[in-house]
Amino acid sequence: MKTSRRTTVRWWRWRRNALKRRVDVVEAWVVLAGWVCALLGGVLGGLVAADAVERAAERQRAQSRPVPAVLVRDAPGLSPARPASDHRVWGTVRWTAPDGSSRQDRARVLPRTRAGSTVPVWVGRDGDLTTAPVSASETRLHAALGGTLAGGFAAATVLGTAGLARLLLDRRRMAQWDADWERLDARRGWRTG
C-alpha cells in the first residue's frame, strides 16, 4: 500500500496565491503583531514587575531599623506538640521608640531565653514592631519570580487576544468560503451541502 506524502507550505499567507483572501493577509499580520507584542510586552512587564518588587523591598528597608529590646518574662520552651518552623517562641519584650517612649509587645525570641536578656527587634518609623526586611538574596529571588510571572501573564494575555482575533477571522473566512460555494452551486444548479 502506498502512503501519501504531505507537503507543508510555510509562509503561504505572505506569498502570492490564487486562493488567498484578504482575511488571510489580515490574519498573518495579526499573528506577527501578536508574537512581537507578546515578546516585547512580556519582557517589559517582567522588568516593570521586578523593579516594583525591588523598590518595595528598598522602601521596607528604609522604613524599618533594628533596635535592642529587653525580654520582660522568661521565654517558654519549644512545644513538642506544635514545633515552630524557625525554632523561636513568642515572648514579651520592651524597647524604646524613636520618640523616647517605652513600648511593650510580643516578639519571636529563642526558646528558654531569660528575662532581662537583650534581643534584637525591628521597628518602623512610628516605633511599632514590624517584620525584618527581606535580605538582598530574597529580594532578588522575589524580583525574579515576580518578573517571570508578570512577563508570562502579559505575554499570555497578548497571545490570547491574538488567538481570539484569529478565531474571529477564521469564522469570517469560513463564512466567505460558504458564500462562494453557495454561489458556485447556484450557478451550476448543484447542491454540495
pLDDT in tens, 124-136: 888 889 888 999 9
Question: What CA dihedral angle connects 93, 98, 102 and 107, to 10 degrees?
Answer: -10
51-102: per-residue pLDDT in tens? 999 999 999 999 999 999 998 888 887 766 665 566 788 889 999 988 888 9
| pTM beyond cutoff 0.75 | no
pLDDT (average), residues 32-57: 96
Place of cell 528558654: 112
Whether the pLDDT of residue 17 is over 90: the answer is no
